[in-house]
Amino acid sequence: MFAVKTPWIKNLAALLSVLLSFPVLANDKSLLKAVPEQAPNVVFVLLDDVGFGATSTFGGPVSTPTLDALAEQGLRFNRFHTTAICSPTRASLLTGRDAHAANVGAVLNSSNQLEGYQGIIRPNTATIAQMLKDQGYRTAAFGKWHLAPPWETTPIGPFDRWPVGLGFEKFYGFLGGETDQFDPTLYRDTSPVSRPQGHDYHVTEDLADEAIKWLRLGHSLRSEQPFFMYFATGAAHAPLQVPKQWVDAYKGQFDGGWDAMREHILERQMALGVAPEGTPLTPRPDALPAWESLSDKQKQVAARLMETFAGFLAHTDHQIGRLVQTLKEINEFDNTLFVYIAGDNGSSAEGGLAGSINYMGALQGLSETLDEQVAALERIGDETTYPQYPAGWAWALTSPFQWVKQVASHLGGTRVGTVITWPKTIKDAGGLRQQFTHVNDIVPTVLEAAGIQAPSVVAGVMQKPMDGVSLLAALKDAAAPEHKATQLFEVNGNRAIYHNGWMASAFHKRYPWSVGIRSGATPMEDDEWELYNLNEDFSQANNLANTHPDKLAELQAVFEQEAKRLGIWPIQSAMDAMNTHPIPNLRQGRTDFTYYPGAVGIAETQAPPIYNRSWSITADISGSQPQGVIATMGGLVSGWSLYLNANSQAEFKYRNFEKGEVLLTANEAVTGNSTVELVFDYDGGGWARGGEFSLIVNGKTVAQDRIGLTPPAYFSIDETFDVGIDTGSPAGDYPANKQGFPFAGGELQTVTISIR
């Protein structure tokens, strides 16, 4: 052996010696996590606010060829149930537990400090993503999350309840309950990001693109590794926004109105076999108007809003078809357990009785006029509108059941059309399954299908038992016995219990189209209980409470027993408890807020509360030619932005839905060390009053204007408060080529907001 004297050769020799001492790892799979033999890939697709009778697959008026094709290759489930509202359904689907057991018994917007309603998934109810990741699966989530508490959805976290904190290795989507479809508020993992540039953009298409890239990359690098994908679009939740050609494809198809459409849906359902022959149609609630009672203008607007919903849903199903095609191209479809749930609850009546071209304003009592709606007919569904259809359509799309989203007491709120495919295992393609099934049954099904025992410990925490029960036997055999005997339902005091074929239901007397109104509900003890034999009454049409009082009492006792087991007895409405048991808030008790560049993606609920009061913004700036956003809140359809335009002039834009807009512009450019201020003097005298805006540069008032009304509570539930850039849809009049219009050409030092 010769002596190594040259230093770099000596170092190289040492490095080679170390490397050669290791085993060859390139093909050593012993270091990879063991995955059960033949474990299937798993895909969850979850749509939003789609009633049982909406899709063509379940007799509806909207063409859903992807769902149709999957139904022919797999199984339709016509007795599949959700919780009746968004966040609880998602928590239940992903954990296999009752939503209250997972501590998400209310939509996050209505969370409170009561046990079971805090909106925080507990460590002892781990998600299927955590379980499968621990077994060697790749995991990713795309789309809507709505399971992170608002005070944790800031750039500083904590990220424990974000997708990446609950078992997903990758996340691309939005955190809130909805988002602008053309300019979404997006996050990649834990970072806020801008959407890809270009005019021809829609978030559902973007989500599908990202999901397809992930599937292909995984197949290229680790084709032997199974994967779990959660694909939850924002469709068809408001805002109903979609390229115009998809809306125009349905032009004139809904001119007959919701009463007639509901009848046609049931006829098709019986023809398809997803509703038994002779199923009665439940009547329209008295509070909903008959179609024929509407004026010609009202019908015109309502029909166009429904056309927009239909186009939105059809467009979404098309994007899901791209996922299915990709699975087939990479030869993974046959061994993929593909669960396509067409709705996290029944159809949404939150657009109110009249519908709206800007429903966030309508929810707060700032509805546009009928003439304004008619004038906007051709814009409905584009980026300048934020639409939702009238409640009558929501009711029609839950045919043949009673009620809609939020009403957990009745099937119109809880039952949705669902298709499951798994060609390797399901042999009677095109079959129908009629076993009573709930979203919490999906996780136990996945675990059994993969040959994985439900873990007793996850991340060092002892786990609660599953509330769901595997339906794998039903996937294999239509004659399999019903796997589930009992299921509690409860949302905002609307409650029900299913037990051995019977259902007892209590509607809490708050109309689901009055979502913005939190008062007026009766005490729980005044609610009337109804009783239905679902084995003989598919549409929940025949109330047997008076003829079977003993059976009703039996089910009421089961409900109380289940509620106590879940720790939610006595029942309280989450909406009523929001004020009496409020959740934490980062702005609580503060009147002055100082921010620095990089403060972006802050939920509006955690930003300075500027509503119904006077407020001001002060920004310290330096630079020879500064331009860009100083601070902004909300977005295109409602919100404000203080910025320096392309000429370095201070500018302020404020838009209150369809109720007024202000644009203030300074005459001279801002240069050097400067202070830019915006002061709003509120008129007072109640909520949503107007006031005067003053734009001030270096102590000099350079522009003023008034607005007659302001929002009483919020600009949006999806747009954010940002400093130094505008994420989401643009709240200001920015240069067309400056996406987000980031501050540049100088230094934005501090931004201070004061309220009084």
What residues have CB less than 8 Å from 695, skipping those under 6 apart? 650, 651, 652, 664, 665, 666, 676, 677, 678, 701, 702, 703, 704
- Return d(Cα 446, Cα 132) in angstroms, integer: 9
DSSP alpha helix (H) spans, 417-548: 442-450, 472-476
Torsions phi, psi of 532, nearest 5? -135, 140
Using pLDDT thresholds of 50, 70 and 90, give the confidence band for residue 32. Answer: low
| Torsion-angle region of 716 (φ positive above 0: left; ψ -120 to 50: alpha; else: beta) | beta
pLDDT digits (tens, 9 = 90+) for 647-661: 999 999 999 999 999
pLDDT digits (tens, 9 = 90+) for 69-98: 999 999 999 999 999 999 999 999 999 999
Using pLDDT thresholds of 50, 70 and 90, give the confidence band for residue 516. Answer: low
Torsions phi, psi of 617, nearest 5? -125, 135
pLDDT digits (tens, 9 = 90+) for 586-595: 998 899 999 9
Give the mean pLDDT of 737-747. Answer: 95
Is residue 11 pLDDT above 90, yes or no? no
The strand pairing partners of 751, in sequence order, are 595, 619
pTM: 0.94
Nearest to 706 by CA among 658, 641, 660, 645: 660
Is residue 34 pLDDT above 90, yes or no? no
- Return d(Cα 673, Cα 647) in angstroms, integer: 17
Using pLDDT thresholds of 50, 70 and 90, give the confidence band for residue 515. Answer: low
pLDDT of residue 25: 37
Beta strands in 167-257 (DSSP E): 170-174, 186-188, 191-193, 227-232
- Return d(Cα 412, Cα 345) in angstroms, integer: 8
pLDDT of residue 520: 56
- Return d(Cα 314, Cα 336) in angstroms, integer: 24
Nearest to 426 by CA among 57, 71, 37: 71
Q: What share of the chain is helix, strand, coil (3-state, %, to 5)?
A: 25, 25, 50
Using pLDDT thresholds of 50, 70 and 90, give the confidence band for residue 641. Answer: very high
Q: Are 535 and 501 in contact (CB under 8 A)?
A: yes
- Whole-number percent of the chain with pLDDT over 70: 95
C-beta neighbour count of 687 within 10 angstroms: 13
- Return d(Cα 261, Cα 652) in angstroms, integer: 47
Nearest to 328 by CA among 41, 727, 678: 41
Q: Are 666 and 678 in contact (CB under 8 A)?
A: no
The yes-or-no answer to whether 489-511+523-580 and 592-755 have a common fold is: no
The strand pairing partners of 621, in sequence order, are 674, 748
Collapse the DSSP code of 79 into the 3-class scheme (helix H, G, I; strand E, B; otherwise coil) and give the result: strand
Cis peptide before 713 (omega within 30 of 0): no
Collapse the DSSP code of 25 into the 3-class scheme (helix H, G, I; strand E, B; otherwise coil) and give the result: coil
- Name the DSSP class of 55: B
- Name the DSSP class of 273: T
Torsions phi, psi of 692, nearest 5? -115, 135
Angle at 594 between CA 589 and CA 598, to 5 degrees: 120
| Selected residue with higher pLDDT from 520 and 715 | 715
Looking at the domain that runs over 41-484, which CATH code has it been given? Answer: 3.40.720.10
Instruction: For the sheet with 494-499, list strands across it.
Output: 486-491, 494-499, 502-506, 529-533
pLDDT digits (tens, 9 = 90+) for 343-356: 999 999 999 999 99
Classify the C-alpha dihedral 415-315-421-270 as positive or negative: positive
Give the mean pLDDT of 607-620. Answer: 97
Q: Are 600 and 723 in contact (CB under 8 A)?
A: yes
Domain boundaries, given as residue ranges, for the chain: 41-484, 489-511+523-580, 592-755
Give the mean pLDDT of 622-632. Answer: 97
Q: Are 36 and 451 in contact (CB under 8 A)?
A: yes
pLDDT of residue 521: 64
pLDDT of residue 576: 86
Is residue 28 pLDDT above 90, yes or no? no
Q: Are 43 and 323 in contact (CB under 8 A)?
A: yes
Counting beta carbons within 10 angstroms of the beta carbon of residue 38, is it exposed (0 to 12), middle (13 to 18) or buried (19 or more)? Answer: exposed
Torsions phi, psi of 414, nearest 5? -110, -30
The strand pairing partners of 81, in sequence order, are 415, 438
DSSP alpha helix (H) spans, 138-202: none
What residues have CB less than 8 Å from 200, skipping those under 6 apart? none
Looking at the domain that runs over 592-755, which CATH code has it been given? Answer: 2.60.120.200
Is residue 8 pLDDT above 50, yes or no? no
pLDDT digits (tens, 9 = 90+) for 117-169: 999 999 999 999 999 999 999 999 999 999 999 999 998 999 999 999 999 99
pLDDT of residue 382: 97
DSSP alpha helix (H) spans, 487-548: none
Using pLDDT thresholds of 50, 70 and 90, give the confidence band for residue 12. Answer: very low
Q: Mean pLDDT in the chain?
A: 94
pLDDT digits (tens, 9 = 90+) for 261-290: 999 999 999 999 999 999 999 999 999 999
Is residue 26 pLDDT above 90, yes or no? no
pLDDT of residue 436: 98
Q: Which two tokens stand for residue 613?
A: 């009061």
Determine which helix (DSSP H) or strand (DSSP E) holds 57, and give its type and residue range: none
- Whole-number percent of the chain with pLDDT over 90: 90
Topology at the third CATH level for domain 489-511+523-580 = Arylsulfatase, C-terminal domain (3.30.1120)
Largest CA distance in the chain: 102
